[in-house]
Chain A
Amino acid sequence: MIAEGFASVMLDPFVILLIAIGVVVGIIFGSIPGLTATMAVVMFLPVTYTMTSTQGISMLVALYIGGISGGLISAILLNIPGTPSSVATCFDGRPMAEKGEAGKALGTGVIFSFIGTVLGVLILIVISPVLASVALKFGPFEYCALAIFSLSLVITLTGKDMVKGLISAVLGALLATVGLAPIDSKPRFTFGIVNLTAGFKLLVLLIGLFAITEVVKYAEGVRKPENFTIEGNVKIKGVGFSLKEFIRGIPNAIRSTLIGVGIGILPGIGGGVSCMISYTVAKNTSKHPEKFGTGIMDGVIASETANNATIGGAMIPLLSLGIPGDAVTAMLLGGLMVHNVSPGPLIFQKSGSVVYGVFFSMLIAAVFMCVFMLLGMRGFIRVLNIPKNYLLPIIVVLCCVGAIGDSNRLFDVWGVLIFGIMGYALIKAKIPLSPMILGFILGPTFESNVRKVSQLISRDSVFSHPIFCVFILVTAVVVVISLRSNKREREALSKEKQ
């Protein structure tokens, strides 16, 4: 069966071609703010209906891998995450680029995206059934605890000014309440506007907060002369960093892979959260946490390894349980079922060759992604040479196109505009924006699960849920540690001032 799967991919030049096309299109979609991996898959899904199962699924996973990886380009070069999964890449990627290390940042991102993808896929191949049973153990109690744990990371993410970080996270959670409530489907904050019943899309919020604000920020300084050429003239040797730096990053990469796969397995959380959790864990365990955010490789490694490892993780429940973990895998599920491949416990017996074909396709796609991105790197950096007064308006247009493309509503463009203005006001108030994304994603997870728990709690005790208890304990420990380290940072800062 393995040989059959291998042959169906490797011996069919058309499949290889489709994978290459998928990766390139994915990278383009991922790198353009506003267009995401999800959209690339949506666009190509109907095209695959008429292909064979191996061809179709191979192309879709290639789009997925390309799309998630491409996001790092605009995150590093423009400080605008190309996809939700690259939010944390901005934290250190952009400062690196500002220091003139754009090439190094890109090289790091690409290589560790590759490592994250491959390790994630290997975990998927080797222990998928075991991990799938872990996903089943996660009921409402466990999700509740996971959401609390993830939200507690906001404290680390925001560092010195915790209150402002919390304001941002709460604002994100509040925005997520617009629309139909979980459980009872009652409309909230919709003011009778039918478009609001579907709530705001993560993509719309992301574009508004990161892309529009970046453009407005630039417009602010438009009268000051700027030298466009300095940033762009970056010389890259090889992949941009040394072997020694690579070896130093390996423990970080392994940890980030595990976090990425772990988050990927749990349906409904996704790459946007995994990169941020991985980033904060890397910061917390680092010997020099104060350097995070100033432009160090570790930050880029943590974010990019984790978000790509999430791909392998998300494929685990998809293939062995038939449960999609995010928007992309939900569409992959449709793509599989159309080809009469029914994910579930019997998938290896019934469609083994297709599944192994998918595994090989993912590995090939990872290699293509790495090669194309490294080759393209020098070209990507030239983007910085384009005068911003030409570049940024184009980006705004693409963002709006992306916002419409998500669910074909002009309404979402208004959302982008409003969130852009809101984001700019928040930046002026020195409120960090990334906790808002965490709040926006995890708020609904927490709410719907806490409401489910309330339906169960009458005959179910929290103490019969060990995973729940462990998460709550870990959260308590993390909160105490972060509070103490934040306090130390503050004290050190005030001493310096004196």
Chain B
Amino acid sequence: MKMKKIVTMALAGVMALSVFSGAAMGAETWPEKTINFACTHGAGGDTDYMARLLARKLEEKVGQSVVVNNVTGSNGAICMTEYKDGDTDGYTFVLTNSAALTGNEATGLSDFGWDAFEPVAIYGKQSGENILVPADAPYNTLEELIQASKDAPGEINFGISTGGGVYIASVIMAHAAGAEFNVIDAGDAAERLTSLLGGHVDATIAPYSSAKEYIESGDLKTLCTLLEESPDLLQDIPTANTTGCEELVMNTLYVCLAPKGTDAAIVEAANAAIKDIVDNDTEWKEEVNSFCFQEPFCLTVEETKTELENQRTLFMSYAEYLQ
């Protein structure tokens, strides 16, 4: 009996040791095999583009192939549900954007937040959602637009897509700045732009990169960006939080996550590899400049957690109006 106990103890000890040393070795030599990226959004979108750009650069840097799979649906909720308890060997990552990650929790589409994962890095900023109106509209700032809606309650049709980040923005404007729009669903970003151009709505929100052509052609004008700070290369676009609605901040950031329980050392190693690419690669800078109108941007693991928690606090404070 005693003998058996000792053997068991010894075996357990050996196992624990092997797990420990295995993990330690894993971090030192990471990566030793193909890395899998699960992207929460489909090919053709910005989240996918950034994920694939990172995959290509990471492949060059670490010398292992990086394969991107698009697991799409429900604004990323399906992919995140599937992978939050995914393989923790350090070769599986989820690539998404912060608005989907925290937005889905606030709207009730997911029942978990960023802390269901091990965040690896925030590795870029989007060109930013802009509040857009026709170029001949009488208002030139967000403040004037909100004032106009108060003067004629329910007369200004504001196009949104329910459930997404754009919806959260409209709720914040109504509750924090007292805007009285007739909020109507106008579909995804492309459909919202069509509705605005066709005169079916009077104002809407869309990413700058989608609306750029119409702003330059003089069909539309942007009142402000929802980013906390104006995009690095578009400094003349004011931010919403300084021009009419202080609470309205929506930073869409590109995030890399690992399944919960992935070894912290590997997470750090991955963060270091990504950070080195973002901070030092010239091609990365060129791509990000022309695609996102931003300078390269990368946070450490701790900074990533803080940033995600800040977004979550903001979104969750409006959760009661969203669900």
A residues lining the B interface (CB < 8 Å): 42, 45-46, 49, 135-140, 179-180, 182-185, 194-195, 197-198, 267, 317, 321-324, 330-335, 337-338, 340, 342-347, 407-409, 448, 451-452, 455-456, 459
Q: Which residues of A contact B155 (CB under 8 A)?
A: 459
List of B residues within 8 angstroms of A324 by Cβ = 190
One of A140, A198, A333, A338 near B73 (C-beta < 8 A)? A198
A380–B217 Cα gap in the complex (Å)?
A: 50
**Residues in chain B near residue A347, CB distance under 8 A:** 213
Q: Are A135 and B194 in contact (CB under 8 A)?
A: yes
* B213 and A139 form a contact (CB under 8 A): no
> Is A49 touching B191 in the complex (CB atoms < 8 A)?
no
Partner of B162, one of A184, A317, A334, A337: A184
Q: List A contacts of B210 (CB < 8 A).
A: 322
A340 and B290 within 8 A (CB): yes
Q: Is B74 an interface residue (CB 8 A)?
A: yes
Residues of A within 8 A of B70 (CB): 42, 407-408
A344 to B157, CA, bound (A): 24
Q: Which of A42, A179, A183 contacts B43 (CB 8 A)?
A: A42
- Chain B minimum-CB-distance residue to A330: B44
List residues 180-211 of chain B with CB under 8 A from any CB of chain A.
182, 184-187, 190-191, 193-195, 197-198, 200, 209-210
A135-B194, A138-B198, A343-B213 known; A456 vs B72 contact (CB < 8 Å): no
Interface size on B, residues (CB 8 A): 49
Minimal beta-carbon separation of A142 from chain B (angstroms): 10
Select from chain A the residue with minimum beta-carbon distance to B214.
Answer: A344
Which residues from chain B contact A407 at a C-beta distance below 8 Å?
A: 70-73
With contacts A136-B194, A139-B200, A322-B210 taken as known, whether A197 is within 8 angstroms of B43 at the C-beta atoms is: no
Selected contact of B185 from candidates A194, A335, A451, A459, CB within 8 Å: A451
Query: Is B214 within 8 A of A197, CB to CB?
Result: no
Are B44's CB and A331's CB within 8 A? yes
Closest to B38 in A: A408
Instruction: Provide the residues of chain B in CB contact with A345, threshold 8 Å.
Output: 213-214, 217, 219
Measured CB to CB, the nearest residue on chain A to B69 is A408
Determine the chain B residues whose CB is within 8 A of the CB of A180 once the complex forms.
74, 109, 163
Question: Could you give 28 example pairs across A and B, Cβ below 8 Å?
Answer: A42-B42, A42-B43, A46-B68, A49-B56, A139-B198, A183-B162, A183-B185, A184-B163, A267-B190, A267-B191, A322-B190, A322-B210, A332-B44, A334-B43, A334-B44, A334-B48, A337-B209, A338-B291, A345-B219, A346-B213, A347-B213, A407-B73, A448-B187, A452-B184, A452-B185, A455-B185, A456-B157, A459-B154
How far, in angstroms, from A456 to B82 measured CA to CA in the complex? Answer: 38
Binding site for A on B (CB under 8 A): 42-45, 48-49, 52, 56, 68-74, 77-78, 81-82, 107, 109, 154-155, 157, 162-163, 182, 184-187, 190-191, 193-195, 197-198, 200, 209-210, 212-214, 216-217, 219, 290-291
Q: Determine the chain A residues whose CB is within 8 A of the CB of B48 once the complex forms.
A: 334
**B74, B162, B210 — which one has the most chain A CB atoms within 10 A of its CB?**
B74
Q: Which residue of B lies closest to A452 (CB)?
A: B185
Please tell me if the beta carbons of A185 and B291 are within 8 angstroms of each other in the complex: no
- CA–CA, A344 to B210, complex, Å? 9
- Once A324-B190, A345-B217, A452-B185 are accepted as A-B contacts, the answer to whether A338 and B49 lie under 8 Å apart by CB is yes
Contact A185:B187 (CB < 8 A) given known A136-B197, A197-B73, A407-B70: no
In the complex, what residues of B have CB within 8 A of residue A135's CB? Answer: 194
* 8 Å CB contact of A49 from B42, B52, B182, B209: B52
Selected from B68, B77, B198, the residue in CB contact (under 8 A) with A137 is B198
Other A-B contacts than A139-B200, A456-B184, 10 sampled, CB-CB below 8 A, are A49-B49, A136-B197, A179-B74, A185-B107, A197-B109, A267-B194, A334-B43, A342-B209, A344-B213, A345-B213
Distance in Å: Cβ of A21 to nearest Cβ of chain B: 19
Report chain A residues within 8 Å CB of B71. Answer: 407-409
Q: Take A340-B290, A342-B212 as given contacts and tell me if A322 and B193 are in contact as well, using a CB distance cutoff of 8 Å.
A: yes
Question: How far, in angstroms, from A62 to B291 measured CA to CA in the complex?
Answer: 25
A313 to B36, CA, bound (A): 38
B216 CB contacts on chain A under 8 angstroms: 346
Is B217 touching A346 in the complex (CB atoms < 8 A)?
yes
The distance in angstroms between the C-alpha atoms of A280 and B74, with both chains bound, is: 35
Residues of B with C-beta under 8 A to A338: 49, 291
Interfacial chain A residues near B82, Cβ < 8 Å: 194
Is the Cβ of B186 less than 8 Å from the Cβ of A452?
Answer: yes
Report if A197-B194 is in contact (Cβ < 8 Å); known contacts: A185-B107, A408-B69: no
Residues in chain B near residue A49, CB distance under 8 A? 49, 52, 56
Given contacts A344-B213, A347-B213, contact A198 B78 (CB under 8 A): yes
A140–B200 CB distance below 8 A = yes
Residues of A within 8 A of B49 (CB): 49, 334, 338
The residue in chain B whose Cβ has the minimal distance to the Cβ of A344 is: B213
Instruction: Please report the C-alpha to C-alpha distance between residue A183 and residue B214 in the assembled complex, in whole angstroms.
Output: 26
CA distance A323 to B198 in the complex (A): 13
Q: Across the A-B interface, give the 6 residue pairs with the lowest CB-CB distance, nearest first.
A: A334-B44, A344-B213, A198-B73, A185-B163, A139-B200, A136-B198
Contact A448 B185 (CB under 8 A): yes
Contacts of A194 in B (CB 8 A): 74, 77-78, 81-82
Q: How far is the CA of A46 from the CA of B70 in the complex (A)?
A: 12
Shortest distance from the beta carbon of A224 to any chain B beta carbon, whole Å? 43
* Complex interface: chain B residues within 8 A of A267 (CB): 190-191, 194
Chain A residue with Cβ nearest B184:
A455
B195 proximity list for chain A (CB < 8 A): 139
Q: Nearest-CB distance from B92 to chain A (Å)?
A: 13
The smallest beta-carbon distance between B294 and chain A, in angstroms, is 15
Q: Which residue of A lies closest to B70 (CB)?
A: A408
Q: Which residue of A lies closest to B322 (CB)?
A: A185
Q: A45 — which chain B residues lie within 8 A by C-beta?
A: 43-44
The docked-state distance in angstroms from the alpha carbon of A42 to that of B71 is 13
Partner of B45, one of A183, A184, A334, A340: A334
A288 vs chain B, min Cβ distance (A): 41
Complex-state Cα separation, A333 to B186, whole angstroms: 20
